A = this chain, B = another copy of it.
Amino acid sequence: MEVAGLSLDGCHRLDELRAWHDACRKAPVAFDMTRGLPSDEQIALSHAMLSLPGPAPFDSGDGQDWLNYGGQQGIPQLRALLAPLLLGVPATQAAVGGNSSLALMHAAVGLAWRIGLPGHAPWSDAHEVRFLCPVPGYDRHFAICSDHGIALVPVPMGHDGPDMERVEKHVAQDPRIRGMWCVPRHSNPCGATYSAEVLRRLATMHAAAPDFTLFCDNAYAIHDFAPQALARPGLYDACATAGNPDRVLLFGSTSKMTIPGAGVALLGGSARIMDWWLAAQRACTIGPDKVNQVRHLRFFGNAAGVARHMQQHGHLLQQRFAQVQRVFAQRLRTPCDVHWSRPAGGYFITLWLPTGCARRVVSLASQAGVRLTPAGTTHCGGTDPEDRCLRIAPSRLPVADAARAAEIIAGCVLLACADAASVACDTTATAPDAHP
């Protein structure tokens, strides 16, 4: 898939890499890898939805008229289908509403801020509210906190979840810590899936704040590359078993299952949490779009239909991720201190570079026509103190383009590393950022 003259083959020395990059700049590609967007091929899997639900009648079974106002919790059959798969709770402990789980997260944090979690004072009464944020993490989670003046406390992510030693210490000692972001499966952007032991520790740990709450974004709950049986997400069950059923608020959506932005979003938790949420919704909205819920129900049919559909998604994602893994493995063997995640699902690969190289690589890639998520967005406050971490989002590109984009990113990494090494050896060199 190499463009003539733009191959990295044989480029090792700084001058060779610079020549390669100059050639790339003169014939830039136009690849947008800034966000984890499904590809057109993935979306085509759901084109049948564009003519659904169709004219056939539907009976919600609970007296709700699906074609008129009414009902805050959503169509029971859709809750029964999706709540166990996406949130790990029964249908009664979930609400389907809106098209955006991010909107539900923002609203839930806002509600805790305004009226407090069930039985607790509003966070707005507190002198300071803090959230633990596993880092690298998701910039929109950080933005929700920033919107409410909530201070972010970073904790490092490992291969099987956040560093639980630090999490437990923070949560046990600091009553200002009222919440924590979690993406327990194929986390954004590391791709880590929390181990059962991490879930257990999150559920059982002592919390100094009595209303400490896990904000669990199950965005990639069943978004595996390889076919596998759909497992019920375990965080709610772990909390309930630990006697802390109110400790977790769960979020999910079908945006990366059907049509992005035109999906349905879910919020779940204990019965007490649901009473709290639904009571507050009465003044907030006239109710959810139930037609879109019936559309989803008819499209999926049942859990087996969901599984089949997600396997097709996984296959398409796998093709793209495999190209990036192949190119990185081929091109990035040499530089020390370059490594990357090998996720089994989700939408991102995290690439760790030598200290001080991430922004430089984003800039070099941009010059070659590959737009990456800005360096630093994976970190609280938008700044990666070591400037090491990049989020790579191969999902939307056609397979060949994913390979080409990975080649360009790899070349930019090699160039940035060679540049950095050159600066380190040659005190008369110009600073890397000043290089053309």
Contact = CB atoms under 8 A, between A and B. Distances in A.
A100 interface: yes
A143 B424 CA distance: 64
A43 interface: yes
A283 interface: yes
A12 interface: no
Contacts of A261: 68-70, 286-291
Contact of A54 (B37, B50, B100, B288): B50
Interface string A264-306: 0000000000000000101111111111100000000000000
B291 A259 contact: yes
Interface centre among A106, A291, A396 (most CB of B within 10 A): A291
Contact of A55 (B47, B55, B140, B260): B47
A288 B289 CA distance: 12
B69 A35 contact: yes
A242 interface: no
A49 B280 CA distance: 31
Nearest to A255: B286
A53 interface: yes
A53 B148 CA distance: 38
Contacts of A326: none
A68 B51 contact: no
A245 interface: no
A106 B289 contact: no
Contact of A67 (B54, B69, B99, B260): B260
A13 interface: no
A52 to B, nearest CB: 8
Contacts of A102: 284-286
A227 interface: no
Given A284-B102, A290-B262, A68 B43 contact: yes
Contacts of A280: 147
A289 B295 CA distance: 14
A379 B298 CA distance: 43
Contacts of A6: none
Given A51-B54, A55-B50, A68-B38, A140 B283 contact: yes
A348 to B, nearest CB: 15
Nearest to A142: B283
A98 interface: yes
Interface of A: 35, 37-38, 40, 43, 47, 49-55, 67-70, 98-103, 106, 110, 114, 124, 140, 143-144, 146-148, 255, 259-262, 280, 282-292, 396
Q: Which 5 A-B pairs have the closest CB atoms?
A: A143-B283, A262-B291, A103-B285, A100-B286, A99-B289
8 contacts: A40-B68, A47-B55, A50-B55, A68-B261, A68-B396, A103-B284, A106-B284, A292-B292
